[in-house]
Structure 1
Amino acid sequence: MTIPGNPYEVIKNSVLRYLLDGSFQKMYVEAWEGVGATALLREVAEAVEKSEKREFETVIKVVRPAPFGNRREMQRAVAEQLNHLLRSPWVTAAAFDAADEDDDFKGVEFSSRDLLSEVAEKIYRAVRDRSSSVLLVLCNKIADGKSIDPNDLGIPIIKGSRNALLWTSGMNISREGVRIQPSNEEAALDLVYKEAVEIARYIEESSGGSLRTTPQVVLRCFWYYLLLLHHRAEFNRSALLLPDGGRPLEAAVKYFVCDGILQGDDAASWEIGKALAPVIESIVNDRLLQFWEKKIPSSTWTPREEKKELLPRRLYWSTLLSHREIG
């Protein structure tokens, strides 16, 4: 089943309806140019939890805009969502810690760390023992560009089971999928904003609350990155973000902080920049740039719909560009 590209709310309502009436066991959501799918998955999961029709007794939400560093990191996130079902959750947590310590000692690359079979077995037993079905809502994306079979995590999504899967990976790789397609510029801006909300949430949650930012700050970094790509004739894109083992680069953070996009306490700004850079880099691409180049006047690169205040005011952009050398 494939639903052609439709606006966000249409897709969300369709996915929710199909999950609740059992029409499809697996549904894939394709983002629009890298944005929108994470928010849609979260909203659908929350709607399922609030639904009077309790089709799913357990909803496992592993939803984040950033890719996982490895397969084990994703498995840990799933296990943490099931702590209330696992018989000995502290033992499971200890197994992850011990495996990571052992890999540290052996020098195993972080990106190569694999699933723990004993944890997959515990997850499988916990899910199997439920009297009702389980819905797995999963951002199935790993830093190396790969995804993972949910069955390997210990959650059976197979014919005959009542479990279901709603997922995205940033790629269009499933036949049972729906595709988000904004109907106009306003809808596209809303998708970018929804992604910014998810990124801001992720920064806070992944740091244990020690780093806090707002969707508006995320948006400024997002648009500024696009601005730099817009001027890549004078600016070498490779100087902004280069592959570096999945780690955020000082170059990206430098532009966010030193050009005043991230403001406030210097130490906090640098840490927020380090967290933001790789997430924003993963969704910004030339296709997205080309879309906005058609919508934003090249003289100012400020959205025509200024009431949204997604970018600094026109005067600020002009001042910003005149006071820095690109290249």
Structure 2
Amino acid sequence: MRRGQEEAVAVANRQQWTEIKAGNIDEAAERIIDFLEDTSKETTVIYFNGWYGVGASAILKLVAKRLRSSPEKLGLDKIIHVDCSLWQSKRALQKAIAQEVELHSSVMAMFDQRDEEDDFEGLEQGARDVIPEVRTQMLEHLWTRRFLVIFHNGSGSYIDLWECGVPVIGLSGKRVLWTSQGRFCSTAVGDARSIAGLSDVAIYVLPTDRVGFDSEFLLHEEAKEVARYPGVPKPGISPEIVKECVMYYRVLRERVGSHGIDWGTYKANYWVCSGIVRSAAAWEIAQALDTNLRLDGYYRWNVSALQVPSDSLEASFFYTTGSRISPKKPKIPPT
């Protein structure tokens, strides 16, 4: 193991995990705000893991909404809310932050210029790094301000926002609250510890009443997040349809097996041809959901407790003979 990896593991092992209890999204958001208000906690970078890795994105969006209405509650000049749960690149992250802090138009123009150059060179989106000149301008802009960055990180790894130009200094009122969870992608505990990286503290939520806790509202909140996303066509989409698509996909993966089929590649086809997505724009909606859902990570939903409509299964590409389930050939979407 390399020295840098050893240090990261050591930090993760020392990392403080803080438990908060909440029975719903509103309570969880209030508990986080209470944590941020507690001046006895000298925390600069705070990782949030949600309920067992679920619901984090919806909760942080509510935290951002409430704090933006009254940033003075934490003695801040600005709440910087950046949702990069659909990861593109560090440059896209830097641009999103620059838009939030409202850097001058001459600085923002650097993104278009650099992207044009990289397009010409054939550099892939994921390989596009931050722009040093923008980093300098952002550091200068934020250095005298007190702020909280709320960051939805879809990169799958720890991101040091100093690289983008965010001077994260807790004692000076420059803090980060972030999560790597969202869009139905739940990280296992061990992976969450690793992803939390160099955060000072990690927060997780436990139900107020574990016995009576109903996790279906979390599923609904995640579905609402996806259904509201600008890239998903409307009308024709709803949280209920998103939930059916997610659970249908999971049922096929977990109960049926692969049968040599790449479910990740063809799931949009199955959603349409099984009758789950039904509208004039069905193919467009299914493709948008395919892009906006993260379904290949660790997953804690109990699929047996969440019913997929039987008519969807009967209309699917599967037929059952006794205990054997065999795949039918998928249809090809229209061009």
TM-score range, shorter chain: 0.7 to 0.9
The RMSD of aligned alpha carbons is: 2.8
Alignment correspondent of 1:190: 217
Counterpart selection for 2:140 from 121, 125, 147: 125
Instruction: Please report how far the alpha carbon of residue 269 of structure 1 lies from its aligned counterpart in structure 2 after TM superposition.
Output: 2.3
Partner Cα separation in structure 2 for residue 210 and residue 238 of structure 1? 30
Q: Residue 138 of structure 2 aligns to which amino acid in structure 1?
A: I
Give the superposition deviation at 1:322.
8.5
Distance 1:191 1:38, change over 3 A: same
CA distance in 2, matches of 1:146, 1:33: 18
Q: CA deviation at 1:138?
A: 0.2
Which of 167, 172, 180 pairs up with 2:205? 180
Q: Which structure 1 segments of 5+ residues have no match?
A: 242-248, 297-301, 303-310
Find the counterpart in structure 2 of residue 246 from structure 1. none
Partner of 2:290: 277
Deviation for aligned residue 1:213? 3.0
Q: Which amino acid aligns with 1:197?
A: K
Alpha-carbon separation, structure 2, partners of 1:116 and 1:319 = 52
Deviation digits for residues 24-44 of structure 1 (CA, Å, limit 9, x no counterpart): 333210134553010111111
CA distance in 1, matches of 2:117, 2:59: 37
AA at the equivalent of 2:269: K
Q: Does 1:58 align with 2:58?
A: no
Aligned to 2:315: 320
Query: Residue 4 of structure 1 aligns to a residue in which SS?
Result: strand
- SS across alignment from 2:162: helix
Picking from 300, 313, 320, the partner of 1:288 is 300
Question: Is residue 2:32 matched to residue 1:21?
Answer: no
Paired with 1:125 and 1:175, the residues of 2 have a C-alpha distance of 25
Query: Are residues 1:162 and 2:189 paired?
Result: no
Identify the residue that residue 185 of structure 2 maps to in structure 1: none
Q: Distance in 2 between matches of 1:318 and 1:109?
A: 39
> Residue 220 of structure 2 aligns to which amino acid in structure 1?
Y
Name the residue aligned to 2:98. Answer: 79
Q: Pick closer, same or farther for the CA change 1:121–1:49 going to 2, 3 Å.
A: same
Taking only the aligned residue pairs, the percentage that are identical comes to 27
In structure 2, C-alpha distance between the alignment counterparts of 1:257 and 1:59, rounded to whole Å: 40
Question: 1 CA distance for matches of 2:164 and 2:204?
Answer: 26
| Contact kept in structure 1, 2:251 and 2:303, CA below 8 Å | no
CA displacement at 1:60 relative to structure 2: 0.7
Cα shift readout 1:58-115 (whole Å, capped 9, x = no counterpart): 1111135x331111111111111122xx2x2x22332111211211111212211111
Contact 1:30–1:180 under 8 Å retained in 2: yes
Is the CA contact 1:226–1:284 (under 8 Å) kept in the aligned structure 2?
no
AA of the residue aligned to 2:127? S
Which piece of structure 1 moves more, 74-83 or 212-221? 212-221
- Matched with 1:140 is 153
Q: Give the 3 Å change call, closer, same or farther, for CA 178–270 of structure 1 in structure 2.
A: same
Instruction: Give distance in 2, aligned partners of 1:238 and 1:323.
Output: 12
2: distance between equivalents of 1:104 and 1:279? 24
- Amino acid in the other structure paired with 1:25: T
Which residue number corresponds to residue 323 of structure 2?
none
* Mapped partners of 2:260, 2:318: distance in 1: 19
Q: Cα gap change, 1:6/1:159 in structure 2, threshold over 3 Å: closer, same or farther?
A: closer
**Does the C-alpha gap of structure 1 residues 8 and 67 become closer, same or farther in structure 2, counting only changes over 3 Å?**
farther
Task: Tell me how far 1:8 sits from its aligned partner.
Answer: 5.3
Q: Which residue of 2 aligns with 1:151?
A: 162
Pair 1:240 & 2:263 matched: yes
Report if the CA contact (8 A) 1:30-1:37 is conserved. Answer: yes
Residues 32 and 17 (structure 1), Cα distance of their counterparts in 2 relative to 1, 3 Å cut: closer
Call closer, same or farther: CA 1:112–1:258 in 2, change over 3 Å.
Answer: same
CA distance in 2, matches of 1:318, 1:160: 56
The one-letter amino acid paired with 1:288 is R
Q: 1:273 to 1:34 in 2, by over 3 A?
A: farther
- Measured in 2, the distance between the counterparts of 1:50 and 1:194 equals 22
- Give the letter for the 1:178 counterpart: I
CA-CA distance at 1:125 after TM superposition:
1.8
Count of residue pairs brought into register by the alignment: 286
Deviation of the 1:271 alpha carbon: 2.4
Is the alpha carbon distance of 1:175 and 1:54 closer, same or farther for their aligned partners in structure 2, counting shifts above 3 Å? closer
What is the SS of the residue equivalent to 2:77?
Answer: strand
Question: Which amino acid in 2 is paired with 1:169?
Answer: S
Q: Supply the distance in 1 between the matched residues of 2:69 and 2:260 (Cα, whole angstroms).
A: 45
TM-score, with length taken from structure 2:
0.75
The answer to whether residue 227 in structure 2 is matched with residue 200 in structure 1 is yes
In the TM superposition, residue 240 of structure 1 has moved relative to its aligned partner by: 0.9
